[in-house]
Amino acid sequence: MTTPPREATVFGRLRAGGAEQVLFGHDARTGLRSVIAVHDTTLGPALGGVRMHPYQDENAALDDALRLARAMTLKASAAGLDLGGGWSVVIGDPARDKTEELLRAHGRFIATLGGRFIPVNDIGTTQADIEVIGREAAPVCDSGDPSPMTALGVLEGIRACLRATGGDGDLAGVRVCVQGVGNVGSALAALLAAESAELVVADTDPARAAAVAERHGARVVDPADAARTECDVLAPCAMGAVVDDATLPGLRCRIIAGGANNVLARPGHAAALAERGILYAPDFCVNAGGLVFLEEQILGHDRTTAEQRVRQVGARVAEVIDRARRTGVTTTEAAVALAEARLRTAAGDGAVSTR
């Protein structure tokens, strides 16, 4: 039997992504098939989402967990938080396969890490689901939905991008296409509507898109057309890989800033966006508000204090844009450099890298 290339093996992929640990969980009684990726715990325990999605296969699930875990490390470090990065994914359709027994089985799986991974809800899971997981594992983040704070941080990040492109941060009349109006996207739509932005929304659930549009006076577009919708700001708020080789040529926006993780299918797409004059707010910077809120919960602080810190997301995005322009690199490279510098300082030996 031919040995596959190192990068195609599980350990090769862990080495390439810098992950500390990956666990695969299976429970025959409930049908649980899940992956937990712990990327980096230099700064503290790995906090990350529980995503339930009908992945094409186990490799796709593993790749998503590794990408999301790394993004969480970058997000926590760049935001100045004392948390590490991790993620877990459950393979299955949440509308059909999710049961209390399956969630509790995943909780028992998480519990084997002894607190090194702290779960929060993500695509396909809810706060109520995390409460169920919390019957088997501790700690969990189940005492407040971080989605509104993620949306608030994105709003401030968009404002920073508008200022960086010659505006004053005023959102009135600015056309924003919110791609995905689930927990984060719907909260962002509400904030944008309150600022008198011109809203366009898209979602794979037509009823959800229609409800958000009716509530906020938005125009609905087909999800397949969202990336090529003419707008000032494209705000991806659902699954990642929004910018890829297929969508890149058709983009008709001047700013990309949203709540989704891993918006770029490949790191090289950051340079391609810059060449086209599209300002990209790195996802792990602009969507850090929810993570800031969760750390505030862990520290026992109130919502007012959390909101004050979340609003600083805009300042961090502005810092990244300024650093990119001063050093002649992409905004993604500038944000990664910021995150890695803090990790090196924390490690004390200069050896830590999130690449």
- Nearest alpha-carbon partner for 219 in 205, 203, 204: 203
pLDDT of residue 7: 57
Q: pLDDT-derived band of residue 41, with 50, 70 and 90 as boundaries?
A: very high
Q: Give the confidence band of 349 by pLDDT, cuts at 50, 70, 90.
A: low
Mean pLDDT check: name the lowest of 91-95, 339-343, 345-349: 345-349
Average of per-residue pLDDT across 216-226: 97
* E strands in the chain: 21-27, 32-40, 46-53, 84-91, 117-121, 175-179, 198-202, 219-220, 233-236, 255-256, 279-280
pLDDT for the residue 353: 43
Q: For the whole model, what pTM was predicted?
A: 0.83
165 versus 297: the higher-pLDDT residue is 165
Residues 166-209: tens digit of each pLDDT: 999 999 999 999 999 998 999 999 999 999 999 999 999 999 99
Structure tokens at 311: 């609003």
| 118 burial via Cβ count (<10 Å: 0-12, 13-18, 19+) | buried
Mean pLDDT, to the nearest integer, of 86-115? 97
| Residue pointed to by tokens 């502005």 | 318
Closest CA to 161 of 35, 319, 304, 272: 319
Residue 116 has pLDDT above 50, yes or no: yes
Q: Identify which of 230, 232, 195, 226 has the alpha carbon closest to the alpha carbon of residue 209.
A: 226
Domain boundaries, the chain: 19-72+83-133, 147-289+316-338
Check if 19-72+83-133 and 147-289+316-338 are the same fold.
yes
Residue 4 is predicted with a pLDDT of: 39
Distance between CA atoms of residues 113 and 14, nearest Å: 18
CATH class of 147-289+316-338: alpha beta
pLDDT computed for residue 104 by the predictor? 98
260 or 13, which is more confident: 260
Phi, psi for residue 46 in degrees, rounded to 5: -80, 115
The yes-or-no verdict on residue 101 having pLDDT over 70 is yes
Q: Is residue 310 very low, low, confident or very high in pLDDT (cuts 50, 70, 90)?
A: very high
* In the chain, % of residues over pLDDT 70: 96
pLDDT given for residue 115 in this prediction:
96
- Position 239 pLDDT exceeds 90: no
pLDDT at 17: 73
Q: Taking all residues of the chain, what is their mean pLDDT, rounded to a whole number?
A: 93
Q: Residue type at 324? A: A
Which CATH superfamily is 19-72+83-133 part of?
A: Leucine Dehydrogenase, chain A, domain 1 (3.40.50.10860)
